Amino acid sequence: MPSQRLYYDDSYTTRFAARIAELGRHGGRDAVELEATYFYPESGGQEADRGRIGEARVVDVQADEGGRVWHLLDPAPQDLGSEVQAEVDWTRRFDHMQQHTGQHILSAAFERELGAATLSSHLGEERSTLEVSLAGSDWRTIERLERVSNQIVWEDRPIERHWVDDEGVKRFALRKPPKFTGRIRIVEIPDWDVSACGGTHTRRTGEVGVIKIVRWERVRGNLRFEFLCGARALADYGWRTESLLEAARRRTLKDSELIAHLERAAAERDELKKRLGELTARVVAAEALERVRREAGGVAELWSTRPREEVRLFALKVLEAGAPWVVAAARGPEPVLVLGRAKTGKGDLRALLPALLERSRGKGGGGSDFVQIAAGDGAAAAAAFEWAAGAVSEAVEAAP
């Protein structure tokens, strides 16, 4: 027999004398069924209640296929006796009631304002979401939805329950067809929303406090909106305000100036990056030329740290300046090894690749006159460099 669920008609009672119906198991864990319960089992996108039964903590509440409600306890239930005191965690429950009732109001707003149906909803521990059949949205549309939704909250309308059978359900214009037949519960916010629903709701819309949409994203060709109600919305407003004001304070700005400041800073950074790239190219070219003038023959250089792109550029510039060959490497930040020979020279550097890849524990490749390897780590880059300096000069000079 299904368990008797008292929260259907009373979602405000949290302390009650629980009569144990059965000690059993659910999902491989020991659990207890009560003769009648105020604990809400996870269902319909709403999380399960927490609380206490006797001395044990209720860590989860789940219903089985037969409609029996199982309370999972920690520690596992022993002999609890026939009747114990139980208590539902009210802070958590009321939070769920705010999110859930808010979801009804918001879904009806999407329907009424945009003709958009709610396809699914999920009320999580932190995030509550609605998937809605909409192609796109913007902040002005969100504002409109929030205004009408919160108007319903502030009018503090009563929320009514009706138990109906298959015949009685026909009297109601439900927002969505019911998922079940037989005796069902209808939850009505007068002149706003009528839904068949088994969740927990506030008595009046005013208790939802406030409804705020915080972001949306595209999923499966629909939009998924994340929203917050009541205390969650206040907490979210708190950290957003603090973050915004703190970010502005650190730059000695007003919060209203922050976005313009970020735009300017990003443009400046892009300009500086471009300028830095140009100057680096000139410095590396001068450095390469100086080395080639100073040293007859090939050039070998190992840095403890130099960006990969600069190592590569150095090698190219050394060859441009007339060196017969070059070996350049850096241990970090990205361990790299570059080998090159003059285009007019001879010898195929790819012949050295197997030995280089093994010593550098890396990956790479290239052409007959230029090879680049991303080494496994700094030490391997250095070891491969030591070997390569000799091997390249030999390969180039010994080539027929």
Looking at the Cβ atoms of 161 and 308, the one nearer to Zn ion is 161
- Report the residue number, 60 or 193, with the smaller CB distance to Zn ion: 193
Alpha-carbon Rg of the chain, whole angstroms? 35
Please identify the residue of the shown chain whose CB is closest to the bound Zn ion. Answer: 197
Nearer to Zn ion, 107 or 360 (CB): 107
Q: Which is nearer to Zn ion, 118 or 393 (CB)?
A: 118
46 secondary structure, DSSP code:
B
Query: Quick one: which segment of 197-205, 255-263, 300-308, 379-387 binds Zn ion (CB under 5 A)?
Result: 197-205
# of chain residues touching Zn ion (CB under 5 A)? 2
- Contact call for residue 199 and Zn ion (CB under 5 A): yes
Q: Cβ of residue 104: shortest distance to Zn ion, in angstroms?
A: 5
Any contact of residue 197 with Zn ion (CB under 5 A)? yes
Minimum distance of Zn ion from residue 22's CB (angstroms): 29
Which tokens go with 112?
Answer: 């009424």
Candidates 10-18, 191-199, 278-286, 309-317: pick the segment binding Zn ion (CB under 5 A): 191-199
| Rounded least distance, CB 111 to Zn ion, Å | 15
- Segment contacting Zn ion (CB under 5 A): 193-201, 217-225, 306-314, 339-347? 193-201
DSSP 64-75: -TTS-EEEEEES
DSSP class of residue 170 equals G
Indicate the residue among 41 and 199 with the shorter CB distance to Zn ion.
199
Closer residue to Zn ion (CB): 130 or 338? 130
- For the bound state, the minimum distance from the C-beta of residue 207 to Zn ion, rounded and expressed in Å, comes to 14
Can you say whether the dihedral through the CA atoms of 167, 172, 173, 179 is positive or negative?
Answer: negative
Specify whether the CB–CB gap between 71 and 58 falls below 8 A: yes
**69 is a contact residue toward Zn ion (CB under 5 A):** no
The alpha carbon torsion through 16, 197, 158, 103 (nearest 10 deg) reads 110
**Helices assigned H by DSSP within 158-307:** 230-250, 258-294
- Show Cβ contacts of residue 322 under 8 Å, excluding neighbours closer than 6 positions: 292, 342
Give CA–CA dist 97/229, Å, rounded. 10
231 Cβ neighbours under 8 A, 6+ residues apart: 95, 98, 209
Residue 102 interacts with Zn ion (CB under 5 A)? no
Q: What are the tokens at 304?
A: 């403890």
Residues making contact with Zn ion (CB under 5 A): 197, 199
